[in-house]
């Protein structure tokens, strides 16, 4: 059961978790990324590559599902403009055993940082700036190869 | 051929995309970038730093040495920062 | 912010996640363990060592908080009798960066299996049986040493 | 000294705990188990397999060779299976 969404509206993590638990798997892991309040950022804009993004997320979710024999994998990535404290991304996995659910969840969020066409633009009191890619993300994604 | 620009590439180009018909000798992404830069000062400035440019051909991530032969859609953008 | 609970009532994961997000950390990871439906188990009984359990969970949560500089750590472990599909345990962590939240979450659930005085008793159509300890759990807990 | 039994140890002992006053020469958990087994057939059967027994002294997990001197509470139980 693979579920990929790119909403412009806030992410409902409770509903997503409930779906994952419905996969009857025994173990559910999740990760939620939020817009931090303490970075001097007044708003975050997420730009993406329509069509290509959906395909990239589906491919990622399918790769995780096969590698860890998941009962369910969910990726919800918000796009557009969002405010501090709001959720940017939710990743969730359901598996028979906890190690598979946890490892697959970490894999998905690491790979999302490098394999999906998203760009972040931060609005600050000093103006707007595009976020630079981090080499740490490449390293984190690479550990799954 | 449909071109798409994202993030600061889009901003610097002043447009999200355009339809172009490069000549036959423009065979790779790198050659397409060079051809675009020759079209005017806006394009020249926007695409000057190729180390900060990434590309997709027909929605598949590729290196700048990749072929654009028979491509329908080429996207140019900065390294991704999502997730 | 450390939160440890041993309820006899169902676990409200949505409320727990909301608390963790309230820690303003940027990254929230969670794990939920459920009573599986496909094991021929009609009910699960969780016995524990009152007093010692609370202390063990607090110690675990504090260890994780220090090791990964967490903004928040939550352990909710249900005790008593529960039915297939119900939540046995919820573990959640909030940190500035995703690797800390994910690693701390995996640490907590691995250690819970070995370091806290819980015993599982399964009710099946053939009668009730005490679940045997798994050496795989010792190995999983040991990788954090 | 307060004794507590959990899981199948509790079931086999037929009680969740009891107050006992072992003699002074009973100095370790293992010696306490031997002393309890000598008290009757129920205790002897319940505590026969020491490889499947674990213990806590004053709520701290210990090995069976640990001292129970000045202990207020000793718990006997199977390996934990929670989480």
CA distance A88 to A103: 21
Residue D11, SS3?
helix
Q: What is the 3-state secondary structure (H, E, C) of A46-95?
A: EEECCCHHHHHHHHHHHHHHHHCCCCEEEEEECCEEECCCCEEEEEEEEE
Query: What confidence tier does B83 reach under pLDDT thresholds 50, 70, 90?
Result: low
- Per-chain mean pLDDT for chain A: 92
Using alpha carbons, select from D24, D21, D17, D22 the residue that is nearest to residue D3: D17
**Residue A114: per-residue pLDDT:** 83
Contact (Cβ atoms closer than 8 angstroms) between residue C75 and residue D82: no
Question: Is 80 exceeded by the pLDDT of residue C90?
Answer: yes
Residue D28, token pair as written in the block: 């370790």
**Residue C38: per-residue pLDDT:** 73
Instruction: For D28, list phi and psi in degrees, rounded to 5.
Output: -125, 170
pLDDT in tens, A100-118: 999 999 999 999 988 889 9
User: Counting one residue from C and one from D, how many pairs have CB atoms under 8 Å apart?
Assistant: 69
CA distance to partner chain A, nearest, from residue B33 (Å): 19
Q: Is residue C51 less than 8 Å (CB to CB) from chain D?
A: yes
Task: Please report residues of B whose CB lies closer than 8 A to that of A130.
Answer: 7-8, 78, 81
Residue D8, token pair as written in the block: 């199948």
Over residues D51-66, the mean pLDDT reads: 94
Question: Is 90 exceeded by the pLDDT of residue A139?
Answer: no
Which residues have C-beta within 8 Å of that of residue B70, sequence separation ≥ 6?
none
Residue C81, SS3?
strand
Residue C107, token pair as written in the block: 């640490």
Strand partners, A2: A73
**Residue A38: per-residue pLDDT:** 72
Over residues A67-92, the mean pLDDT reads: 96
Using alpha carbons, select from C78, C72, C73 the residue that is nearest to residue C53: C78
Residue in this structure with the two tokens 């001197």, named with its chain if needed: D69
Query: What confidence tier does A133 reach under pLDDT thresholds 50, 70, 90?
Result: confident
Q: C21: exposed, middle or buried (C-beta count within 10 Å: 0-12, 13-18, 19+)?
A: buried
Which residues have C-beta within 8 Å of that of residue B34, sequence separation ≥ 6?
none
Strand partners, B56: B61, B75
**Residue A141: per-residue pLDDT:** 75
pLDDT in tens, C9-61: 999 999 999 999 998 789 999 999 999 887 788 999 999 999 999 999 999 99
CA distance D83 to C118: 7
pLDDT in tens, A39-59: 788 999 999 999 999 999 999
CA distance D18 to D31: 17
Contact A130 B82 (CB under 8 A): no
Task: Give the residue from chain A lying closest to B7, CA to CA.
Answer: A119
Over residues B13-18, the mean pLDDT reads: 96
Q: Is residue A106 less than 8 Å (CB to CB) from chain B?
A: no
Q: What is the pTM of this model?
A: 0.89
Percent of chain A surpassing pLDDT 90: 77
**Residue C143: per-residue pLDDT:** 80
Which residues have C-beta within 8 Å of that of residue C83, sequence separation ≥ 6?
C35, C42, C43, C44
pLDDT in tens, C73-86: 999 999 999 999 99
Contact (Cβ atoms closer than 8 angstroms) between residue C85 and residue C99: no
Which residues have C-beta within 8 Å of that of residue A76, sequence separation ≥ 6?
A3, A4, A5, A6, A7, A11, A16, A89, A90, A91
Task: Please report residues of A whose CB lies closer than 8 A to that of B61.
Answer: 115, 117
Side-chain half-sphere CA neighbours of C72 within 13 A: 22
């Amino acid at each position: 059961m693979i579920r990929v969404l790119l909403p412009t509206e806030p992410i409902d993590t409770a509903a997503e978790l409930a779906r994952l638990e419905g996969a009857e798997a025994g173990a559910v892991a999740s990760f939620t990324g939020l817009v931090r309040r303490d970075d001097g950022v007044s708003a975050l804009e997420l730009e993406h590559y329509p069509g290509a993004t959906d395909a990239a997320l589906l491919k990622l979710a399918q790769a995780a599902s096969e590698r860890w024999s998941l009962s369910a994998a969910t990726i919800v990535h918000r796009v557009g403009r969002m405010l501090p404290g709001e959720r940017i991304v939710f990743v969730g996995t359901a598996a028979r055993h906890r190690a598979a659910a946890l490892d697959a969840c970490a894999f998905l969020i690491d790979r999302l940082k490098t394999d999906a066409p998203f760009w972040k633009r931060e609005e600050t009191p000093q103006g707007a700036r595009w976020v630079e890619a981090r080499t740490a993300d490449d390293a984190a994604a690479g550990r799954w190869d | 051929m449909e071109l798409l620009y994202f993030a600061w590439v889009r901003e610097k180009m002043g447009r999200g995309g355009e339809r172009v018909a490069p000549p036959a000798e423009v065979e790779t992404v790198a050659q397409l970038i060079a051809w675009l830069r020759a079209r005017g000062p806006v394009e020249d400035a926007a695409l000057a730093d190729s180390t900060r440019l990434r590309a997709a051909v027909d929605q598949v991530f590729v290196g700048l040495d990749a072929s654009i032969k028979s491509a329908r859609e080429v996207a140019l953008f900065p390294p991704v920062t999502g997730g």
